[in-house]
């Protein structure tokens, strides 16, 4: 025997209203007015002979989908309370704020890489001294390392371009466009691609020095 | 079916015009317009309320919550003085468009 599911109109109205209440864009008065409208609509449809569930379904369709209603009321109300204010603020500024964080991360990454090269520059005189102590001919800094040392004065350029891009995002781009992930991916890829050659360039003088040491250096006395 | 743009443009004059017949609530306003247009002016019903609230903010109409005949609480809207003036202007503009189109679309009289 099939069991008929009883349609509870009161619960249906309650659920419909609760669904709309989740959005910060409806005020209590708006919900009351929309519910009054829906109740009028359902009453009229029922008086024409429709069952409660049919009348409710048609009534809600005529009032509009929650998404469409939200869009319309968003322009009017914005939101309620400090939580919604905060959420709206974060929604509007999320993309820009994240760009700022990624810029800081990118600049810090670039500074770390620059620091690696700077350290290699600082230990170079020590390597030269060690060469003379080990009575090994000093062959100079490897060309690959010299190339990166020569690039060091221009190391500020990538963060500068990133900052200019962030400036564009802050002033021009719509908040709705979440371009932060693309920026994050680009920044990470750039740092990663630079990391390997920079580490090699920084380590080469040390490797080169170790390579030139006579074999006896590492022999036990 | 009328275009969305035309329906949107005519919402304010339609609401103002219906309210000249006396105060009314949202659902009844929609029904009245549907009845007068023979069902050709179709509003997405929930979309009317932001328009009504905007008109209220512009002081074209005013409202208050009251219990209707059925005992159900409803928000009733009525026309303000500024709304009457706005309706007069709307009427002139729509009549100008109407007259222009009527002249353009009437059969050309034969030249003498």
Angle between helices A66-77 and A9-21 (to 10 degrees): 50
Query: Do A54 and A105 belong to one domain?
Result: no
The strand pairing partners of A171, in sequence order, are: none
Nearest to residue A30, comparing CAs of A20, A22, A39? Answer: A20
Domain residue spans in chain B?
4-102
Shortest Cα–Cα distance, A92 to chain B (Å) = 22
Interface of A with B (CB under 8 A): 29-30, 32-34, 36-37, 39-41, 43, 62-64, 68-69, 72-73, 75-76
Whose tokens are 């050659």? That residue is A197
Chain A hits for B26, Cβ within 8 Å: 33, 36-37
Q: What six digits make up the tokens of B78?
A: 């009525």
The strand pairing partners of B25, in sequence order, are: B76
Find the farthest-apart pair of alpha carbons in chain B and give their distance in angstroms, rounded. Answer: 68
Query: Do A106 and A200 belong to one domain?
Result: yes
Is A221 part of any domain?
Answer: no
How many residues are present in chain A? 221
Query: Do A103 and A72 belong to one domain?
Result: no
Query: Do A133 and A48 belong to one domain?
Result: no
Chain B hits for A36, Cβ within 8 Å: 25-27, 72-75
Decide if A37 and B49 are in contact by the 8 Å CB cutoff. Answer: yes
Print the domain residue range for A52: 9-79
Domain limit, last residue, from A20, A46, A79: A79
- Looking at the domain that runs over B4-102, which CATH code has it been given? 1.10.10.10
Return per-residue pLDDT of chain A as tens, 221 residues.
444 567 888 999 999 998 888 777 788 889 999 999 999 999 999 999 999 999 999 999 999 888 888 888 887 776 555 666 666 666 567 788 888 999 999 999 999 999 999 988 887 777 677 666 666 666 677 888 889 999 999 999 999 999 999 888 887 765 555 788 899 999 999 999 999 999 999 888 777 777 766 666 555 65
ipTM score: 0.86
Q: What six digits make up the tokens of A67?
A: 């998404």
Residue A198 and residue A114 in contact, taking contact as beta carbons nearer than 8 Å: no
Decide if A63 and B72 are in contact by the 8 Å CB cutoff. Answer: no
CA-to-CA distance for A180 and A168, rounded, in angstroms? Answer: 13
CA-to-CA distance for B23 and A106, rounded, in angstroms? Answer: 63
Shortest Cα–Cα distance, B46 to chain A (Å) = 4
Indicate whether this model's pTM tops 0.80.
Answer: no
């Amino acid at each position: 025997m099939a069991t008929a599911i009883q349609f509870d109109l009161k619960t249906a109205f309650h659920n419909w209203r609760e669904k709309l209440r989740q959005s910060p864009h409806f005020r209590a008065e708006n919900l009351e007015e929309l519910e009054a409208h829906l109740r009028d609509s359902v009453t009229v449809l029922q008086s024409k002979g429709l069952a409660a569930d049919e009348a409710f379904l048609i009534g809600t369709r005529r009032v509009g989908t929650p998404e469409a209603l939200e869009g319309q009321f968003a322009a009017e109300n914005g939101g309620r309370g400090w939580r919604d204010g905060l959420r709206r603020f974060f929604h509007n500024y999320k993309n820009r704020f994240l760009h700022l964080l990624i810029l800081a991360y990118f600049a810090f990454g670039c500074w770390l890489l620059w620091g690696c090269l700077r350290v290699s520059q600082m230990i170079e005189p020590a390597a030269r001294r060690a060469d003379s102590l080990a009575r090994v001919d000093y062959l100079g800094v490897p060309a690959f390392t010299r190339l990166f040392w020569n690039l060091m004065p221009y190391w500020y350029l990538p963060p500068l371009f990133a900052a200019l891009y962030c400036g564009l995002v802050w002033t021009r781009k719509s908040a709705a466009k979440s371009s932060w992930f693309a920026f994050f991916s680009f920044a990470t890829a750039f740092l990663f691609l630079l990391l390997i050659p920079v580490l090699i360039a920084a380590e080469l003088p040390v490797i080169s020095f170790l390579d030139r040491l006579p074999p006896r250096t590492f022999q036990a006395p | 079916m009328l275009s969305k743009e035309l329906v949107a443009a005519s919402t304010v004059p339609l609401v103002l015009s219906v309210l000249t017949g006396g105060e009314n609530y949202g659902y009844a306003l929609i029904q009245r317009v549907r009845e007068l247009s023979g069902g050709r002016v179709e509003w997405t019903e929930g979309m009317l309320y932001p328009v009504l609230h905007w008109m209220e903010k512009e002081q074209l109409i005013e409202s208050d919550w009251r219990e209707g005949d059925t005992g159900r609480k409803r928000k009733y809207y009525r026309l303000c003085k500024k709304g009457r003036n706005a309706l007069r202007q709307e009427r002139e503009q729509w009549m100008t468009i109407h007259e222009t189109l009527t002249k353009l679309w009437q059969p050309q009289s034969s030249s003498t």
